[in-house]
Structure 1
């Protein structure tokens, strides 16, 4: 690395003495791109500034939550006003109900919601609820899909494990993983075969509507609908993990965009407006099994934290034009720029004969550097075979040098905010063209 990152290198050296690997989440270690992690000092709108004073257009956005960009004044004001009244009570507040009502309004298939503190808590709790509701023990997940780091879900997991080149995590017991079945994403026949053999023992299918932890892989036509039908035909539940896609691909998430009707939904990221939050939600008859309404126990001292509730409510109301014209909403503007960015990358790849697979839905996007033209990734197995992570690593650092910050892994999705402008997108595409010309 150049002298451009001197202070980051110093801080990383210090961090490694007191924090395992120098980071508090593995993807931050930059193992997927090499070099020293960049330490950031501040963010404003679409911009990040690192500790060495370098500025970047940010397409990571805290891995998705910052739909309005960094330090949006409406969100900052909401947090500050709540902080002045207290940061946490461990007791009910009206903000919990207000955010719940806002989420339910945007996602009509949801009737009740329970807030937690992370996406991992949300998926873990949703699966416990599915087991309690059905009286069954087994679950089906898909290879390369990441649903948090609960023991039963660290089986053929996604981006973090892919980037680090690790198999299933040490510390996960055989017993914890014994009831977790796996199939390839986008392979409905494989899922059907598993249900034919063990369907009466399966409590739920859990799936990302867009597989965004193995890069950016869209579902094949009819795949998600087929999974829902398959689950219901055997009396199992379908859990849609919209921690990443929720309020990112459409106001109603992937389920609203594609007319899906999951039994349970997992949410996170955007609903906290940049503060830690998660949630699981679904049909009233199922959610009524959650304590204290029902017997399935789940608790959290800081769940429904008033700071996160205030930030999430401010974000959703501002992003989707709750108090104005939805067609001219900040979300709609961000979606248009995400489309322009993806189309621009696709054209650059064609123009320069660089094999790229580019995808975009709503304000999410992603692109693979393929090993050769004509390939198309539809699953984790194909991603491992067809993708060239080393080329992405070189591209990542070259873009950083030009003031554009992308995910430090080929196997992560990208995000755009309402704060990004047409000029920012054009600047990003100019930088990409310059890098790919070589």
Structure 2
């Protein structure tokens, strides 16, 4: 059933560390061999063994319209005919920037980059340059890419200066990172008591990297108030939730405005892209207008811009798109919860627009520690393994959110729930 993928993985391990180019793809947390994908068709992935999977990962979010959407595909092909990259300005960059800026009252300008990691790294540099301060506040369980100052682990005490969580990251590069517990207001306040040198808070307002764990609106308002009180900037990392949780991401759901927003994934519709955006006053500090340096040879790549522009315009043109996607997401997770309960298994579920998450747990986790303490990771691994065999492709980690695309139908969801029922009878 997986013979070709197993062989492909063994060969990949000889020339690629761990056989993959992003660690989660190795299936280490769920066991088994990752299927090697040959192609995508609409709602489905097809691996090199010919197995077909209903895809709830959607390239980790960007494929709202599924695989090989005809309009996006055509825009990419037409753009490629004119060249892959120029390292010079194109009209497509401006057109996509206008589409984004027009959606937000607190955003005037956008800088495109090539990845979410680059977007968050640059946003933090910009915040430090604007405020003239060094410290940043981040939260356990929020992933903002793999730049050095963001790879930190918890130390002792409620609020602590971070220590590196990866070899190769000098302590000097993380000593200005204050680590807090997500959704813990008192913990956050203590950070500001401990330091008068805080440049910014960076947060996933809808965390998708410890499973789906939204920040409460009360907590986000406290982030906003503390930043205003102490002269720091608030960064919303919407690389995953942007245009996914709603047309305006978390910014369209909660009544809190960030100073800087980072984007990614969806605005590339599957092509490598990221962006960060802010008011004209903040962006005036960014080179070449200001002194805060940031650059990228492939930034604003025309092929990525074309894909993103087509995708975003489609999103904006379909009334109630996110309402319908959320209906399907709710149908999926409520169905999973129902069959779990029937089989005596605790399952906690949540959705935000086209994003969904489920935890094998008896309590709803609200932060990273609770995800770690409450959740049955072994059971999730078994569930994932058995669902793969039945043709349903979920994120290969309890720490990752899932996604609904427009091409996933109610009947497909019903098939998934029925398969989950069979699997959970043996969990």
Q: Do these two structures clear the TM 0.5 threshold for a shared fold by scoring above it? A: yes
Equivalent of 1:184 in 169, 181, 200: 181
Residue 407 (structure 1) aligned with residue 400 (structure 2): no
Conserved? CA contact 2:326–2:351, under 8 Å: no
Q: 2:297 aligns with which of 297, 301, 312?
A: 301
Question: Residue 157 of structure 2 aligns with which residue?
Answer: none
Query: What is the rounded CA distance, in whole Å, between the counterparts of 1:313 and 1:259 in structure 2?
Result: 27
Query: Are 1:145 and 2:145 an aligned pair?
Result: no
Shift of 1:156: 2.9
CA distance in 1 between partners of 2:330 and 2:102 (Å)? 26
Question: Distance in 2 between the 1:197 and 1:410 partners?
Answer: 33
Partner residue of 2:6 out of 5, 9, 14: 9
**Structure 2 SS opposite 1:141:** strand
Instruction: Tell me the distance in 1 between the aligned counterparts of 2:33 and 2:149.
Output: 32
Q: Is the 8 A contact 2:5 2:34 kept in 1?
A: yes
TM-superposed CA distance for 1:376, in Å, is: 2.1
- Whole-Å separation in 1 of the counterparts to 2:102 and 2:319: 14
Which stretches of structure 1, 4 residues or more, deviate above 3 A after TM superposition? none
Q: CA separation in 2, counterparts of 1:335 and 1:107? A: 22
Contact preservation (8 Å) 2:32, 2:385: no
Q: Counterpart of 1:25? A: 22
TM-score, structure 1 normalization: 0.93
Q: Does 1:100 align with 2:94?
A: no
1:246 paired with 2:246, answer: no
| Structure 1 alignment gaps of length 5 or more | 158-166
Shift of 1:220: 2.6
Shift of 1:259: 2.4
TM-score, scaled to structure 2:
0.96
1:379 equivalent in alignment to 2:344: no
For the 8 Å contact 1:107–1:253, the answer to whether it is kept is no
8 Å CA contact 1:228, 1:262 repeated in 2: yes
Task: Give CA deviations for 1:50-76 in whole Å, capped at 9, x if unaligned.
Answer: 010000000001100111100100100
Matched, 1:326 2:309: no
Shift of 1:341: 1.0
Q: SS at 1:240's partner residue?
A: strand
**CA distance, structure 1, for counterparts of residue 255 and residue 410 of structure 2:** 30
How much does 1:334 deviate? 2.3
Distance 2:204 2:139 in 1: 9
**Displacement of 1:348 after TM fit?**
2.2
Write the distance in 2 (CA, Å) between the matches of 1:302 and 1:259: 35
Q: Which residue of 2 aligns with 1:162?
A: none
Partner of 1:211: 207
Given that 1:144 and 1:156 are in contact with CA atoms closer than 8 Å, whether structure 2 keeps it comes out as no
Determine if the alignment matches structure 1 residue 315 to structure 2 residue 311: yes
Aligned to 2:382: 394
Equivalent residue runs for 1:51-130 within 5 Å: 51-130=48-127
Q: Do 2:262 and 2:277's aligned partners in 1 also have CA atoms closer than 8 Å?
A: yes
Quick one: distance in 1 between partners of 2:216 and 2:64? Answer: 27
